[in-house]
């Protein structure tokens, strides 16, 4: 009676050390989470850095003087037009040249990724994360071979269509999602089918083409502004896509069919005879009547 038995479990030293490490790490993590939660300055910074109305406008292109004013860099040209129109200035951030502008009271982050075209999505992903901008408010501006030179098309979804910059946006920035707004600037396809596409898109516009594309670039900068101010893409997309929709060929004017001759037959009963009149009517001519009397015809018997 009164005897106490203790069960002692003998553990290898290695297990004891690992258990102690786990306990210490757990305590350290718990302390860190509490410190972050109660740090008012950190919470304030997080609140200020997240603006649900901010838009990200990204033009695609390649960095470097040798790519300036090439067809593949028309997305950069639109961003330059937006920044100059708003009096903004570029700064290097997240592998891109970034400017902060506002349209009325709506803030925008406009950028030109400096990762080269094929890796554009990596820079866009970092900017989306830094400014907490969802893909629905990320507008990508880029060149399009399948749109006529100097025309525009707006889409809110779709595949990359062979464009490596859009391919990178889908793969690296939006986690495979194809649902994000796009403004496509038409550069057309080469008139010479023997010219490789990569040479064509990296070439500069001719003098006559340059005048046309500059006008389109200015219009595209206004389109971007309209999208941001409207807070949606649908209305602007309808307006622009209707404007640049392929024109249907005019229907040929139908020629009136020539009127055919008509014969009007009338009958009249005169006593025991039936009078039959044939009225031949020819278009454009006065009526010609040829009365024909059938003698001896009897009126039908009546019951």
> Is-catalytic flag, 160?
no
- Catalytic-labelled residue, pool 33, 72, 160, 163: 72
- Gap between the Cα atoms of 33 and 77, Å rounded: 45
Is residue 73 within 8 Å of residue 61, measured between CB atoms? yes
Q: Identify the residue whose tokens are 């030293």.
A: 13
Cα 167 to chain centroid distance, Å, stands at 15
- Gap between the Cα atoms of 271 and 265, Å rounded: 20
Q: Identify the residue whose tokens are 């950028």.
A: 111
Nearest in space to 198 (alpha carbons), one of 276, 91, 118, 278 = 118
What residues pair up with 269 in beta bridges, in sequence order?
274
Q: Which helix (H) or strand (E) holds 32?
A: helix 13-38
Neighbours of 284 (CB within 10 A): 6
Residues with catalytic function:
72
């Amino acid at each position: 009676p009164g005897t106490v038995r203790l069960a002692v479990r003998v553990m290898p030293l290695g297990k004891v050390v690992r258990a102690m490490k786990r306990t210490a790490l757990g305590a350290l993590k718990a302390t860190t989470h509490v410190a972050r939660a109660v740090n008012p300055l950190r919470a304030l910074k997080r609140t200020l850095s997240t603006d649900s109305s901010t838009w990200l406008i990204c033009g695609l292109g390649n960095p470097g003087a040798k790519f300036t004013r090439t067809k593949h860099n028309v997305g950069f040209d639109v961003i330059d037009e937006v920044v100059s129109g708003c009096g903004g200035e570029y700064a290097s951030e997240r592998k891109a040249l970034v400017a902060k502008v506002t349209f009325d009271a709506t803030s925008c982050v406009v950028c030109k990724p400096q990762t080269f075209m094929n890796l554009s999505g990596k820079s866009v992903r970092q900017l989306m994360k830094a400014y907490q901008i969802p893909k629905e408010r990320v507008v990508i501006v880029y060149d399009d071979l399948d749109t006529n030179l100097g025309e525009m098309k707006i889409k809110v979804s779709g595949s990359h269509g062979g464009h490596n910059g859009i391919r990178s946006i889908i793969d690296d920035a939006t986690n495979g999602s194809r649902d994000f707004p796009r403004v496509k600037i038409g550069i057309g396809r080469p008139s010479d089918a023997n010219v490789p596409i990569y040479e064509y898109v990296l070439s500069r516009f001719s003098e006559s083409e340059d005048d046309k594309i500059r006008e389109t670039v200015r219009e595209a900068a206004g389109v971007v502004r309209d999208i941001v101010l409207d807070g949606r893409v649908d209305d602007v997309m309808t307006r622009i896509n209707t404007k640049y929709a392929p024109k249907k060929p005019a229907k040929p004017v139908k020629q009136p069919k020539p009127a055919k001759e008509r014969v009007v037959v009338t009958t009249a009963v005169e006593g025991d005879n039936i009078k039959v009149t044939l009225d031949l009517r020819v278009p454009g001519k006065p009526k010609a009547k040829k009365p024909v009397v059938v003698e001896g015809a009897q009126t039908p018997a009546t019951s």
